[in-house]
């Protein structure tokens, strides 16, 4: 039944799988609750949003405001203060005491890492690797990779993601640049999991022992770096599952197990899982594996290709893990159709990879930024990656340092979680073939020997700039929120401007999207989005956090950004002085 005062189109609410699933939140994150509220006649009424804790006790009631005259649309803020389950409702009453209250809708406040993080990816086998006089390569290990942790920490990254660390199969092992035949000594693809040395709960002997891994995790923790592991539900033909659990795979008519295919590509070194034959057995095994790595100190998992597995599997798996370990987070590596990406978020994934990698123009960035910050933030948390071992986007293939810098600015300031794969800071940019978005000599198929020290000595690294970006993120709460992203008009299609505000922390970001030429424009700051009183702030003082320079800006601000100057000039990241 419609209540006395109809309250409709309530957000953030998500109906999925026959129920309302909890809106995503973290403790102390302000969440905007919206609703359309109507009544007959012209009498006024008061609208409130009520916040309840997990015991159903009312913890706050805050006023809602009409967002524009005649819209019937009201908004108010609620802020969960602790981890766990919360709910909200909307109450409406008039001067006569007539009132209506909506039903309650769920919110789940998770580990802050579910929303906020600077991610870095490297392959342990490349860290500390050496090229020998005869051309052979001595692999890196967990112990040699410990020395690389200081470099990661110095750049300000707080989550280090490792591709699969398990034994790699020999059967149909892929070689350099995805060749179908591996040459002697080639290490194979880490996602071809499993050999006689074990499967998903084993360590690749070439990387060291379990004790070595434990030392690596402990060393990272001392530097305040969390380790995220890959969870890839697939295996090589040599995996113990292929022998002991053939019911977990799809078989051809001749009785052989079918390998993975994504036409025209074929992956003879990988067997995909079939969840229809023994669902409960697979669910139990995956939960066992995840719990095993949790027991080794892991609290973050990057899930490989989750969209090729049943959505309800992830909903059940993540719910069971989080019921026992609420601080564990799962990042979905799902570059796929929007509906599937969104479904995985609704099913429980705390974060997802996104289309940011391919959003380049000003309008594309505005549209996508608005989508992830406003339209889908109740169920989908974006993690903006500038590159991956699989993806070398076309805009990076020039090798121009300015484009690497400006993309890092966008990724690290538009959303509270961002990531980059090792080599980005060295401007690695050579494609495997013209018209393709894959790296030549990709680290997926070989061990990379990089001269980090030499690049730093020669000044051929973006690392100092990345360090500045991550330091700015850590120092400013506004950049640690998603829903506060607001775009502002500029007179140039090559310059984008946006703001973020959290309490008294107001950040303005201006980026030149043209890495080859200086661009200039006038920005028209929307004072309503800034939360500023124009009578008091006809002009306002800002400090550029990239270089410390101070400026006086106002409603209409002229800027000029020249990428030919040091990389800091691809953007302004300005902190507004409010007092």
Q: Model confidence over 458-469: pLDDT tens digits? A: 999 999 999 999
DSSP structure class, residue 434: T
pLDDT at 56 over 90: yes
pLDDT at 262 over 80: no
pLDDT for 266 equals 79
Mean pLDDT of 439-443: 95
| Cα of 75 vs its chain's centroid, Å | 27
Residues 6+ apart with CB under 8 A from 346: 14, 16, 17, 21, 379, 380
Choosing from 333, 428, 486, 544, which is the catalytic residue?
333
pLDDT at 146 over 70: yes
Distance in angstroms between the alpha carbons of the first and the last residue of the chain: 50
SS3 state at 479:
helix
Question: Does the annotation count 304 as an active-site position?
Answer: yes
Mean pLDDT of 238-260: 93
CA-nearest of 187, 39, 57 to 99 is: 39
Choosing from 269, 285, 304, 443, which is the catalytic residue?
304
pLDDT at 42 over 80: no
Backbone angles phi, psi at 432, to 5 degrees: -65, -40
pLDDT for 568 equals 57
Contact 574, 552 (CB under 8 A): no
- For 281-391, strand residue ranges (E) read 300-304, 329-333, 351-352, 384-385
Mean pLDDT of 570-574: 97
Q: Each residue of 352-372: pLDDT tens digit?
A: 999 999 999 999 999 999 999
pLDDT at 274 over 70: yes
Q: Residue 15 is inside which H or E element, if any?
A: strand 14-16
Q: Residue 470 is inside which H or E element, if any?
A: helix 463-475
Read off the tokens for 276: 């229809």
Q: Beta partners for 78?
A: 31
Q: Each residue of 288-313: pLDDT tens digit?
A: 999 999 999 999 999 999 999 999 99
CA-nearest of 228, 404, 234, 261 to 332 is: 228
CA-nearest of 209, 219, 224, 225 to 141 is: 209
pLDDT for 40 equals 81
% of the chain at pLDDT higher than 90:
91
Q: Residue 510 is inside which H or E element, if any?
A: strand 505-512
pLDDT at 191 over 90: yes
Query: What is the Cα–Cα distance from 210 to 204, expressed in whole angstroms?
Result: 9
* Average pLDDT value for the chain: 95
Residues 6+ apart with CB under 8 A from 471: 156
pLDDT for 49 equals 98
pLDDT for 565 equals 67
pLDDT at 243 over 60: yes
Q: Each residue of 420-430: pLDDT tens digit?
A: 999 999 999 99
Mean pLDDT of 381-401: 96
pLDDT for 96 equals 86
Question: Does the annotation count 94 as an active-site position?
Answer: no
pLDDT for 1 equals 64
Q: Each residue of 535-554: pLDDT tens digit?
A: 899 999 999 999 999 999 99
Instruction: Please give the domain boundaries of the chain with CATH numbers for all domains.
Output: 7-109 (2.60.40.10), 125-233+278-479 (3.20.20.80), 483-576 (2.60.40.1180)
Q: Residue 346 is inside which H or E element, if any?
A: helix 338-347
Backbone angles phi, psi at 497, to 5 degrees: -135, 135
pLDDT bracket for residue 453 (50, 70, 90): very high
CA-nearest of 396, 416, 417 to 407 is: 396
% of the chain at pLDDT higher than 70:
99
| Least confident range of 12-21, 33-42, 99-108 | 33-42
């Amino acid at each position: 039944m419609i209540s006395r005062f109809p309250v409709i189109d309530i957000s953030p609410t998500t109906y999925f799988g026959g129920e309302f699933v909890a809106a995503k939140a973290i403790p102390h994150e302000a969440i905007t609750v919206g609703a359309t509220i109507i009544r007959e006649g012209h009498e006024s009424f008061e609208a409130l949003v009520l916040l309840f804790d997990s015991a159903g006790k009312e913890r706050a009631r805050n006023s809602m405001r009409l967002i524009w005259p005649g819209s019937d649309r009201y908004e108010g803020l609620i802020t969960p203060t602790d981890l766990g389950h919360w709910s909200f409702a909307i109450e409406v009453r008039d001067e006569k005491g007539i009132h209506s209250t909506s039903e309650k809708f769920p919110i789940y406040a998770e580990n802050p890492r579910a929303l906020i993080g600077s991610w870095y990816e490297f392959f342990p086998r490349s860290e500390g690797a050496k090229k020998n006089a005869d051309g052979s390569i001595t692999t890196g290990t967990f112990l040699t990779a410990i020395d690389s942790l200081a470099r990661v920490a110095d750049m300000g990254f707080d989550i280090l993601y490792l591709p699969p660390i398990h034994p790699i199969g020999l059967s149909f092992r892929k070689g350099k640049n995805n060749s179908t035949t591996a040459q002697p000594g080639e290490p194979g693809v880490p996602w071809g999991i499993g050999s006689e040395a074990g499967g998903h709960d084993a360590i690749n002997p070439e990387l060291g022992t379990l004790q070595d891994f434990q030392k690596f995790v402990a060393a990272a923790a001392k530097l305040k770096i969390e380790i995220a592991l890959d969870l890839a539900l697939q295996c090589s033909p040599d995996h113990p599952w292929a022998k002991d659990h053939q019911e977990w795979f799809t078989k051809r008519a001749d009785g052989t197990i079918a390998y993975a295919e994504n036409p025209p590509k074929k992956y003879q070194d990988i067997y995909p899982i079939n969840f229809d034959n023994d669902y409960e057995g697979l669910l139990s095994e995956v939960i066992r594996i995840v719990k095993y790595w949790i027991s080794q100190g892991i609290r973050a998992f990057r899930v490989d290709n989750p969209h090729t597995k049943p959505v309800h599997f992830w909903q059940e798996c993540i719910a069971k893990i989080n019921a026992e370990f609420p601080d564990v987070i799962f990042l979905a590596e799902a570059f796929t159709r929007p509906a599937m990406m969104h479904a995985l978020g609704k099913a429980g994934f705390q974060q997802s990879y996104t289309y940011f990698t391919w959003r380049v123009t000003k309008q594309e960035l505005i549209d996508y930024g608005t989508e992830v910050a406003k339209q889908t933030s109740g169920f989908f948390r974006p993690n903006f990656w500038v590159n991956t071992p699989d993806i070398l986007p076309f805009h990076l293939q020039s090798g121009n340092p300015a484009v690497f810098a400006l993309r890092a600015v966008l990724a690290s300031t538009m959303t509270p979680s961002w990531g980059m794969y090792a080599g980005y800071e060295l401007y690695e940019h050579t494609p495997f073939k013209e018209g393709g978005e894959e790296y030549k000599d990709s680290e997926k198929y070989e061990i990379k020997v990089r001269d980090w020290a030499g690049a730093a000595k020669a000044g051929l690294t973006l690392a100092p700039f990345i360090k500045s970006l991550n330091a700015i993120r850590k120092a400013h709460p506004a950049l640690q929120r998603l829903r506060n992203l607001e775009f502002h008009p500029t007179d140039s299609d090559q310059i984008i401007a946006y703001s973020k505000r959290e309490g008294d922390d107001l950040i303005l970001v201006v980026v030149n999207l043209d890495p080859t030429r200086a661009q200039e424009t006038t920005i028209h700051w929307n004072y309503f989005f800034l939360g500023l009183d124009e009578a008091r702030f006809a002009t306002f003082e800002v400090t550029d956090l990239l270089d410390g320079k101070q400026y006086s800006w106002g409603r209409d601000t002229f800027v000029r950004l020249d990428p030919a100057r040091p990389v800091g000039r691809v953007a302004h990241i300005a902190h507004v002085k409010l007092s």
